[in-house]
Amino acid sequence: MDEQHVLTDRQGSVGRLTLNRPRALNALTHGMVSAISEALTAWEADDRVRAVVISGAGERGLCAGGDIRAIYEDARAGGGASAEFWRDEYRLNAYIARYPKPYVAFMDGIVMGGGVGISAHGGVRIVTERSAVAMPETGIGLVPDVGGTYLLSRAPGEVGTHLALTGAVVGAADALWCGLADHFVRAERLGALRGALGDAIGGGEGEGEAEGDGVGAVRDVVARYAGVAPEGRLAGDREWIDGCYAADTVEEIVDRLYGHGHPAAKEAAETILTRSPTALKATLASLRAARALPTLERVLEREYRASCAALGTVDLVEGIRAQVIDKDRAPRWAPRELSGVSEAEVSRFLEVPVGGDLWGECGGS
């Protein structure tokens, strides 16, 4: 079944990956992560494949994230399977970031959580007018992962802190401005672009003359289909975002947001207070640390520790229950208030998991 959930084919010299769980918004399972990794590994060694394109089946999105129903059941049972899933998923994220051939991600529709991990680390990232990009993990008791704290810590000013704590969804223009994407292409043109990439980077079974090779050729093709994204809002909100989110604690951030006077700042404060207090404090610590870490691999290792730590909290199971299982949108966090989260609890998110770190003997620079 997992093989059917990741479709692979080749057009010309372009290897194509299609996530094929449209009824589940193409949510990633462990088997899908393995299938993507295996395809990329095979294509890296295949001279006939000069570029890779990843997209999602259906009209709703590339990928809504990991299969959190499976994480919910595993967390209730002890959490071993989720740790193994994250280990392979995060290693895949790092592999995508270092992939030696052009990796083109069609970030159309919903792209959240794990969907960001398999797209925003790619070399050529395309958003559309339908794109809805987010890292909403604090709403289910998790810290942003899949390299999300790496990406958000490098967004302009404190915008990444705002997006991480609130889980706010951004459209195409804001994704481009934040550095989560590279090009805007209207959704109706994606099919033609996919075909043009196959034609331009080699035809048939690797035969015939290719018009170009490498990321430059891919970008030349994309440029012919790209346009200007509808206007975003984050750049205009920098003044209150930077001033409020520069605080050292989540409590102070909330106080500054309430005291600023801008309606959007108050709305952000109210959103933050609906999130897991423990996840919020661990997220802020992770973001601040990610700024100083030199590589994606180092950040992913820290995120792996945080995710494994979350498996042992009440909030992860409760957050998924409220958002996905019962859908009552009324999680009962423990503790319920930011003031109840101790420094010791936050420090737990830095500890090496019982089963070992992300890279183990494989290293990671």
Residue numbers annotated as active site: 66, 114, 137, 145
Query: Can you tell me the distance from the alpha carbon of 96 to that of 92, in angstroms, rounded to the nearest whole number?
Result: 6
| 175-to-170, 229, 269, 288 alpha-carbon distances in Å | 6, 10, 22, 21
Site of tokens 């207090």: 277
Strand 110-112: give its sheet, edge to edge. 61-63, 110-112, 132-134
Query: Can you tell me the distance from the alpha carbon of 194 to that of 133, in angstroms, rounded to the nearest whole number?
Result: 21
Query: Is residue 144 within 8 Å of residue 114, measured between CB atoms?
Result: no
Query: Can you tell me the distance from the alpha carbon of 283 to that of 293, in angstroms, rounded to the nearest whole number?
Result: 15
| 168-to-109, 132, 138, 212 alpha-carbon distances in Å | 15, 10, 11, 39
User: Strand 124-127 to strand 183-184: parallel, antiparallel, or no bridges (unpaired)?
Assistant: parallel
Query: Can you tell me the distance from the alpha carbon of 275 to that of 332, in angstroms, rounded to the nearest whole number?
Result: 10
Query: Can you tell me the distance from the alpha carbon of 48 to that of 145, in angstroms, rounded to the nearest whole number?
Result: 33
